[in-house]
Each structure stands twice: as C-alpha cells, then as structure tokens.
Amino acid sequence: MPKRYDAAVIGGGASGIVAAIAAARRGRTVILLERMPRLGKKILITGGGRCNLANENLDPALYTSRAPALVARVFARFGHLPIRLFFKDIGLETVSEGGRVFPATNQAASVLKVLELEIARLAIPVVLNFDVVRIDAPRESFAVHAADGRGVESKSVILTGGGKSYPALGSNGSGYRLAAPFGHDLVLPVPSAVPLLVKDRLCHLLQGQKVRARVSALIDGAVRQAAEGDVLFTVYGLSGTAVLDVSESLSVALHRESGRSLAVSLDLVPFMKAEALAAEFARRLRSGWSAADLLSGILPEKFHLLAADILSGMKVSDHGAAAAALASGLKDKRFPVQGTRGWNEAEFTTGGIDAREVDIATLESRFRKRLHLAGEILDVQGGRGGYNLAWAWASGHVAGESV
C-alpha cells in the first residue's frame, strides 16, 4: 500500500519550499514535487543573482489583485519581520538597502542553500523531474499524477506552480491547468516587468545606449505609472529597469483591452528642469555651438541623432525657439508602444488564478476542501523591489500552516 501524505506540495519554487517547511514544522507528513531537475531554479536568478528577497514596506496597497483583503491578511500574519526572522532562523543573515532586503552574502545561492538545509533537517521528501499533469480528487484524498506515470496520494494539496514567466525555469503555466478542473477561473495572465516593443528608427539607431531617465507609461494620453532609472535602447524597442517598472499597466492594456493608445514618455534629462535646460541650450547657441554639439556633456554623444530629429525643419538661428523645442523634446520624448516582449523576458506574471477564489485566512480553495493555492499562481502581484518573493514566501507559509 503506497504511503499517503498529509500534504503534497506541487512546485518547488519559493512559495512551495516555504509551504512544505511550514507544514512539516506542524508535524505534517509532506512531500515536495518539482518538475525540474532541481528545486528553486528561479530563486537563483532573482535580483540579478543577489535575490531581493523582501521589502521593508510590504504595504498591501502596493500590490495589484482582485483580492486586496487577502493580501493584507497574509502580510498581517507573515510580513516583512516574520519573513526575515524565518530566514535568520534557518541561517540566512539579511541586510536592507533603502528598504530592499538582500542576503548579507549578496548571493541568491545562499537563500536557496539555507532553504535546502531546512528541507533536509525536516527530512521532507523531494521528488524532482515530477511533472504533475493531473490531480484526481474522487473522494476525501487526492491522487497527484506525473507525466511519466508516477503518482502520489495525499490528504491535501498545496498548488504552488507559479505563473508563466521564465518557463525555462519551470513555471510554464501548467499550474493553471491543474486548478481548472476544480472550477478555478483565470484573470488573463500577461507578462509584467517586461521590455517594450517600439517601432521607431531612433531605438534602432541608439541601440545599446543606456541612460538614466524618468519613464511614464501613457494610456490614452494619461500617465498610469512612472519610474526613474535605467533605460536601455534596443533593436526591438526599450528595456532597462525603469521601463520594466512601468510595463505592467501597458501590458495589461495591450493584452486585455483593445483600442487603447499606448505610449511611453521619456524625460531624458531628469536632473534638470525644462526651463534650465532650455536656458542652457540658448546659451550654447549664442556662444556659437553647432547644432551637432548641443547635447555634449548632457547626454551621451550618440544622442545628437535625437537632437537632429527634434530640430529638423527648424531655424536654429532662432535661438530661443530652437532651445525651447530641444528642451521639451528631451523632457517628453514619446514612443508609441506596439507590444511587449514575451514570457522568456518577463520577471513576473500579472494575472493568474482569481485570488477571490481562495479563503483569505488559509488560502484554501473555495471550491475544493484541502486544496490550497499560494505564490505567483494567484492573481497577486507587486512591483519590482522584493515584493513578489515576499508574497511567495508569505502566502506559502500561510498555506503550509493551514494544512
């Protein structure tokens, strides 16, 4: 007779690992099932290999979800301090940089290492290359089936299969398909924290150039999100941290709504006010600088292409008008947005299983007793800055404590 576990956790990412630990600490027999050849592959690449594992300010208002009460409840139970204590307890020292929490080692590998040590200490069985394709729940218990015919029986299931971003690391959206037969609905998942497709010869000409800029996402002309940081011009459009930070609203509008006019506006000289910039250009023109040199010392040399674009057809001899046009063109350079890059380049998923369909205290499915959902699989997303891993650990912990 095969062993029946108290809980089977499907998905050995951030959320599933913590869920398994929390359940095992309560004395539950728990098994962790992962479709990849190792646990936590995505954890290793987070934060550029440094793993920005939480944020000191886990204000639920900073998350988008159809279930804000659920987000608030989960963080009320397992917020910034409990997350850091959890990690300290298993051996990870953490430091904060302007609110962003990182491992003191600066290495994402340290985060995964201490999690794996705790899994070993608790003797939690881990089954790798276990690609779950079906969950049967004919009576009280669950039978979890893998693609290769293996199966596991359990009294409860915690589904932490993640979203759709970076499918090569395991999260290929299969968790959504596993939840569907129980009646769970999807808020259409769209790629988020993702580079933008912009058809503009300037992006092509400036490809490889990286500047610090203020980026605004415009939907039907209104600013929806704004961020300051790196902007990278690429052959297909725009990338860089500030672009990723404003991509969510554009991606939602692109993929879920139709007929919207979408654009980004770049303030390429965020460190100077428009008037001061115009005055500086006027001074340069008066002193005889040629149009081709006007941006020198303000933006990288290649940006003279942009200055030439803005000034084309203008009389540069009219110093005041030329200086004002150049200043406003650089403070509000607009690019129409045609699309986003795909799931392979999206740091997280916006959308997922409708979070209103789980109990706010236990993350148990409202449709099936003892089926719990946690992590990125749910329609809960924060911005970049440690918010998404914080949600993964916190919701995983709450689900694990509830089985």
Ligand X SMILES: Cc1cc2nc3c(=O)[nH]c(=O)nc-3n(C[C@H](O)[C@H](O)[C@H](O)COP(=O)(O)OP(=O)(O)OC[C@H]3O[C@@H](n4cnc5c(N)ncnc54)[C@H](O)[C@@H]3O)c2cc1C
Per CB under 6 A, residues contacting ligand X are 10-16, 33-36, 42, 45-47, 51-52, 130-132, 160-162, 165-166, 170-171, 174-175, 347-348, 375-376, 386-389, 392
- Which is closer to ligand X, CB of 32 or CB of 277? 32
What minimum distance in Å lies between the beta carbon of 305 and ligand X? 31
Query: Could you give the CA distance from residue 35 to residue 97 in angstroms, rounded to a whole number?
Result: 34
Residue (143 or 311) nearer to ligand X, CB: 143
- Residues 6+ away with beta carbon under 8 Å from 134: 144, 145, 178
Our CB check for ligand X shows the closer of 99 and 336 to be: 99
311/392 with CB nearer ligand X: 392
Closer residue to ligand X, CB minimum distance, 45 or 223: 45
Nearer to ligand X, 42 or 397 (CB): 42
CA–CA dist 264, 335 (Å, integer): 5
Nearer to ligand X, 209 or 395 (CB): 395
Is 66 in contact with 356 (CB distance < 8 Å)?
Answer: yes
**Closer of 375 and 400 to ligand X (Cβ):** 375
CB of 293 to ligand X, least distance (A): 40
| C-alpha span between 338 and 17 (Å, rounded) | 38
CB of 298 to ligand X, least distance (A): 32
Minimum CB distance to ligand X, residue 262 (Å): 23
Q: Whole-number minimum distance, CB 310 to ligand X, in Å?
A: 35
CA distance 65 to 71: 8
Q: Round to the nearest angstrom and report the end-to-end CA distance of the chain.
A: 23
Three-state helix/strand/coil letters over 327-378: HHHHHCEEEECCEECCHHHCCEEEEEECHHHECCCCCEECCCCCEEECHHHE
Rounded to 10 degrees, the C-alpha dihedral 196/199/202/207 comes to 50
Least distance in Å: CB of 283 to ligand X? Answer: 43
CA–CA separation, 61 and 332 (whole Å): 29
3-state helix, strand, coil in the chain (%, to 5): 40, 25, 35
Residues in the chain: 403
Least Å distance between CB 112 and ligand X?
11
Give me the half-sphere count of Cα atoms (radius 13 Å) on the Cβ side of residue 296. Answer: 8
Q: How far is the CB of 346 from ligand X (least distance, A)?
A: 7
Residue partners of 299: CB distance under 8 A and separation at least 6 = 211, 268, 269, 306, 330
- Closest separation in Å from C-beta 39 to ligand X: 7
Nearer to ligand X, 248 or 347 (CB): 347
CB of 239 to ligand X, least distance (A): 13
**Distance of alpha carbon 164 from alpha carbon 348, whole angstroms:** 8
Whichever of 6 and 131 has its CB closer to ligand X, that residue is 131
Q: Cβ of residue 248: shortest distance to ligand X, in angstroms?
A: 13
- Nearer residue to ligand X within complex by CB, 152 or 219: 152
Assess contact for 361 and 73: CB atoms under 8 A.
Answer: yes
Coil, helix or strand for 308?
helix
Q: Give exposure, 141-171, as e/b (b: 16+ Cβ within 10 Å).
A: bbbbbbeeeeebbbbbbbbbbbbbbbeebbb
Query: How many angstroms separate the CA atoms of 350 and 341, rounded?
Result: 14
